[in-house]
Amino acid sequence: MPITCDIDEEPGLWERTRIPGLLRALWFGASQLIRRGCPARIDPPPGAPGEHRLMLREDGSVRCTACMLCVAACPAGCIEVELDESLPPDAERRPKEFRIDLLACTLCGRCVEVCPCDAIRMDTGKLPPPVRSRDGLIYDMRKLASNHPEGASPLSRAL
Protein backbone atom coordinates (compact mmCIF):
# COMPACT_ATOMS: atom_id res chain seq x y z
CA MET A 1 0.00 0.00 0.00
CA PRO A 2 1.53 3.30 -1.09
CA ILE A 3 1.95 6.16 1.39
CA THR A 4 0.31 9.39 0.31
CA CYS A 5 0.85 12.90 1.58
CA ASP A 6 -1.99 15.37 2.00
CA ILE A 7 0.28 18.40 1.64
CA ASP A 8 0.09 18.34 -2.14
CA GLU A 9 -3.66 18.69 -2.04
CA GLU A 10 -5.01 22.13 -2.77
CA PRO A 11 -7.06 23.69 0.06
CA GLY A 12 -10.76 23.82 -0.43
CA LEU A 13 -12.92 26.90 -0.60
CA TRP A 14 -13.61 26.83 3.19
CA GLU A 15 -9.89 26.74 4.06
CA ARG A 16 -9.05 29.47 1.53
CA THR A 17 -11.40 31.90 3.28
CA ARG A 18 -9.18 31.65 6.38
CA ILE A 19 -12.28 31.48 8.55
CA PRO A 20 -11.23 28.20 10.25
CA GLY A 21 -7.96 29.76 11.42
CA LEU A 22 -9.74 32.88 12.63
CA LEU A 23 -12.26 30.80 14.58
CA ARG A 24 -9.47 28.74 16.16
CA ALA A 25 -7.65 31.92 17.23
CA LEU A 26 -10.82 33.43 18.71
CA TRP A 27 -11.58 30.20 20.53
CA PHE A 28 -8.06 30.05 21.97
CA GLY A 29 -8.17 33.70 23.12
CA ALA A 30 -11.58 33.29 24.73
CA SER A 31 -10.52 30.13 26.53
CA GLN A 32 -7.42 31.88 27.91
CA LEU A 33 -9.53 34.81 29.16
CA ILE A 34 -11.94 32.44 30.88
CA ARG A 35 -9.16 30.35 32.37
CA ARG A 36 -6.86 33.19 33.57
CA GLY A 37 -9.17 36.19 33.82
CA CYS A 38 -8.68 39.64 32.33
CA PRO A 39 -6.27 42.02 34.09
CA ALA A 40 -8.14 45.10 35.34
CA ARG A 41 -5.18 47.48 35.11
CA ILE A 42 -1.60 47.28 33.93
CA ASP A 43 0.79 49.32 36.08
CA PRO A 44 4.11 50.44 34.61
CA PRO A 45 7.24 49.03 36.27
CA PRO A 46 9.06 51.25 38.79
CA GLY A 47 11.38 53.73 37.13
CA ALA A 48 9.57 53.63 33.80
CA PRO A 49 9.01 57.05 32.22
CA GLY A 50 5.58 58.48 32.90
CA GLU A 51 3.74 61.63 31.94
CA HIS A 52 5.67 64.88 31.94
CA ARG A 53 5.46 67.53 34.64
CA LEU A 54 6.89 71.02 34.92
CA MET A 55 8.67 71.89 38.13
CA LEU A 56 7.87 75.09 40.02
CA ARG A 57 9.85 77.71 41.93
CA GLU A 58 9.11 78.71 45.51
CA ASP A 59 6.95 81.61 44.24
CA GLY A 60 4.76 79.23 42.20
CA SER A 61 6.10 80.18 38.75
CA VAL A 62 7.33 77.58 36.29
CA ARG A 63 11.07 76.87 36.54
CA CYS A 64 11.50 76.75 32.73
CA THR A 65 13.74 79.47 31.26
CA ALA A 66 12.66 78.88 27.64
CA CYS A 67 16.17 77.86 26.57
CA MET A 68 14.63 75.62 23.85
CA LEU A 69 17.04 72.73 24.52
CA CYS A 70 14.14 70.33 25.06
CA VAL A 71 12.63 71.39 21.74
CA ALA A 72 15.93 70.77 19.96
CA ALA A 73 16.54 67.41 21.68
CA CYS A 74 13.09 65.95 21.07
CA PRO A 75 13.30 63.40 18.21
CA ALA A 76 9.53 63.44 17.70
CA GLY A 77 9.19 67.23 17.64
CA CYS A 78 6.29 67.09 20.09
CA ILE A 79 7.37 69.98 22.35
CA GLU A 80 6.45 73.59 21.58
CA VAL A 81 7.76 76.49 23.67
CA GLU A 82 6.79 80.11 23.07
CA LEU A 83 9.00 82.76 24.65
CA ASP A 84 7.30 85.52 26.65
CA GLU A 85 8.34 88.64 24.72
CA SER A 86 6.54 91.04 27.10
CA LEU A 87 9.25 90.77 29.77
CA PRO A 88 11.86 93.55 30.12
CA PRO A 89 15.23 92.84 28.44
CA ASP A 90 17.09 92.42 31.75
CA ALA A 91 14.53 89.94 33.17
CA GLU A 92 15.01 86.17 33.13
CA ARG A 93 13.51 84.44 30.10
CA ARG A 94 10.22 82.67 30.73
CA PRO A 95 7.89 80.68 28.50
CA LYS A 96 4.59 82.22 27.52
CA GLU A 97 3.29 78.80 26.47
CA PHE A 98 4.67 75.25 26.85
CA ARG A 99 2.90 72.36 25.08
CA ILE A 100 3.64 68.65 24.73
CA ASP A 101 1.73 66.43 22.30
CA LEU A 102 1.67 63.06 24.05
CA LEU A 103 0.38 61.32 20.92
CA ALA A 104 3.64 62.11 19.17
CA CYS A 105 5.88 61.67 22.24
CA THR A 106 7.99 58.51 22.32
CA LEU A 107 8.67 58.83 26.09
CA CYS A 108 12.41 58.74 25.39
CA GLY A 109 13.28 61.22 28.17
CA ARG A 110 15.74 63.33 26.19
CA CYS A 111 13.91 66.51 27.20
CA VAL A 112 14.57 65.65 30.86
CA GLU A 113 18.23 64.86 30.22
CA VAL A 114 19.07 68.10 28.41
CA CYS A 115 17.16 70.50 30.69
CA PRO A 116 19.83 72.57 32.50
CA CYS A 117 17.48 73.87 35.21
CA ASP A 118 15.49 70.76 36.21
CA ALA A 119 12.30 72.28 34.78
CA ILE A 120 10.81 69.11 33.28
CA ARG A 121 10.57 65.61 34.71
CA MET A 122 8.93 62.34 33.71
CA ASP A 123 8.66 60.76 37.15
CA THR A 124 4.89 60.85 37.59
CA GLY A 125 4.50 57.08 37.20
CA LYS A 126 1.31 57.67 35.19
CA LEU A 127 0.65 56.63 31.63
CA PRO A 128 -1.39 58.92 29.36
CA PRO A 129 -5.09 58.22 29.93
CA PRO A 130 -7.51 57.11 27.23
CA VAL A 131 -9.25 60.12 25.72
CA ARG A 132 -11.95 60.67 23.10
CA SER A 133 -10.21 63.48 21.21
CA ARG A 134 -6.68 64.43 20.24
CA ASP A 135 -6.90 67.64 22.28
CA GLY A 136 -7.02 65.61 25.49
CA LEU A 137 -3.42 64.48 25.00
CA ILE A 138 -1.94 67.89 24.23
CA TYR A 139 -0.78 69.11 27.63
CA ASP A 140 -0.35 72.85 28.08
CA MET A 141 1.71 74.67 30.70
CA ARG A 142 -1.17 74.73 33.22
CA LYS A 143 -1.73 70.96 32.99
CA LEU A 144 2.01 70.19 33.10
CA ALA A 145 2.54 72.42 36.15
CA SER A 146 -0.21 70.61 38.07
CA ASN A 147 0.64 67.04 36.96
CA HIS A 148 2.56 65.96 40.07
CA PRO A 149 2.44 62.48 41.56
CA GLU A 150 0.93 62.02 44.98
CA GLY A 151 3.43 62.81 47.72
CA ALA A 152 6.02 64.40 45.39
CA SER A 153 6.96 68.04 45.73
CA PRO A 154 6.16 70.33 42.81
CA LEU A 155 9.12 72.52 43.76
CA SER A 156 12.58 72.17 42.29
CA ARG A 157 15.60 73.36 44.22
CA ALA A 158 17.86 73.45 41.13
CA LEU A 159 19.75 76.61 40.24
Q: Rounded to an integer, what distance in angstroms lies between the CA atom of residue 93 and that of residue 96? A: 10
* CATH architecture for the domain at 53-145: 2-Layer Sandwich (3.30)
Positions of the chain with pLDDT lower than 70, given as ranges: 1-9, 39-40, 157-159
Question: Taking the domains of the chain in order of start, what are their residue ranges?
Answer: 53-145
How far is the CA of 129 from the CAs of 8, 108, 136, in angstroms? 51, 18, 9
Q: For the chain, give me the number of helices (H) and strands (E)?
A: 5, 5
The pLDDT tens digits for 95-119 are: 999 999 999 999 999 999 999 999 9
The pLDDT tens digits for 56-70 are: 998 888 999 999 999
pTM: 0.69
